[in-house]
Chain A
């Protein structure tokens, strides 16, 4: 039973990682990375690593995507151009 859960989580992680790389738009990538963080946390829980899962959940699904989104917002803001502001959130 545990083996089945581990295999499912592994496939989920592999799929999410592939999707995160193939999404060329950083905003979409941030959302997929957030899902990848969640899938990794799930996998680590099944692998009996609650410490690592907790760490991955907080960092992978919240902090890293948030920083990517903030960077996108900064980078897309051109002087005098107000059309794309706030679109990223």
Chain B
């Protein structure tokens, strides 16, 4: 199909979509309305399970099976990326040369690194009582680790970040989620039911299985994002074509 034909097809489709969508918008409850039947029921269910953060309760308790599906998509996507970005036979690895970093950048990144890691872990651990949880904290922790790449260079990052360990972590997080669900079966309840003691409302130990599932997701997301970024960094910095003899990766950084 030509570019012009494609554009016309899009314009016709977009016009039809816009018409239906705008009509639907005017039939929706108005923005900010007070009528939220599902929300009210979710809040009641979360409070009865002693979980202060209702969103964590929806994700890891009320709709835990749904989150298992989401986690499996995440796992499959990471697996697919790892397979697609592996080093093939006609490619070779070149060691990136050490890069020089401006002292101010180095000190700032090194000073931020422990704080960012700590915030990430805090966000994972407090998912059941304050905004946050495994999904968000996992991304923060994984991204924080890469401040080391800014502070020093790729080789320093490779030394402190054993990728195979994170690949195992990704699988272990997924497995831990399923095992927690099966544990509920052994306890004589339904798959992924909340069978643990619910604890005192709004304390770190409240929420029953929400804590375990939250931690499992935290491990999986942290490991998954680290593995993804490692694969992309490998491709961009280290792996080159075999014909490319004189290409020494320059570490992705401008020299100072």
Do any CB atoms of chain A lie under 8 A from CB atoms of chain B in the complex? yes
B206-256 contacts to A (CB < 8 Å): 225, 228-229, 232-233, 235-236, 240-241, 243-244, 246-247, 250, 252-254
Does B240 contact A51, Cβ atoms closer than 8 Å? no
| B180 beta carbon closer than 8 Å to chain A | no
- What 0/1 pattern do residues 120 to 150 of B give for CB contact below 8 A with A? 0001000000011101100110110010000
Q: Note all chain A residues with C-beta closer than 8 A to B123.
A: 54
Instruction: Count residues of chain B with CB under 8 A from any CB of chain A.
Output: 31
| A66 beta carbon closer than 8 Å to chain B | yes
Does B229 contact A54, Cβ atoms closer than 8 Å? no
Of listed A51, A54, A85, A89, residue having the most chain B CB within 10 A? A51
- What 0/1 pattern do residues 56 to 81 of A give for CB contact below 8 A with B? 00110011001100110110010110
**Assembled-state Cα–Cα distance A49/B228 (Å):** 27
**Assembled-state Cα–Cα distance A82/B245 (Å):** 11
**Assembled-state Cα–Cα distance A79/B92 (Å):** 12
Smallest Cβ-Cβ distance to B140: which chain A residue: A58
Q: Note all chain A residues with C-beta closer than 8 A to B236.
A: 70-71, 73-74, 77
Q: Which residues of B contact A (CB under 8 A)?
A: 53, 55-56, 123, 131-133, 135-136, 139-140, 142-143, 146, 225, 228-229, 232-233, 235-236, 240-241, 243-244, 246-247, 250, 252-254
Q: Which residues of A contact B (CB under 8 A)?
A: 50-51, 54-55, 58-59, 62-63, 66-67, 70-71, 73-74, 77, 79-80, 82, 85-86, 89
Q: List 13 A-B contacts (CB under 8 A).
A: A51-B56, A51-B133, A54-B123, A70-B229, A70-B232, A71-B232, A71-B236, A73-B236, A77-B236, A79-B240, A80-B246, A86-B250, A86-B252
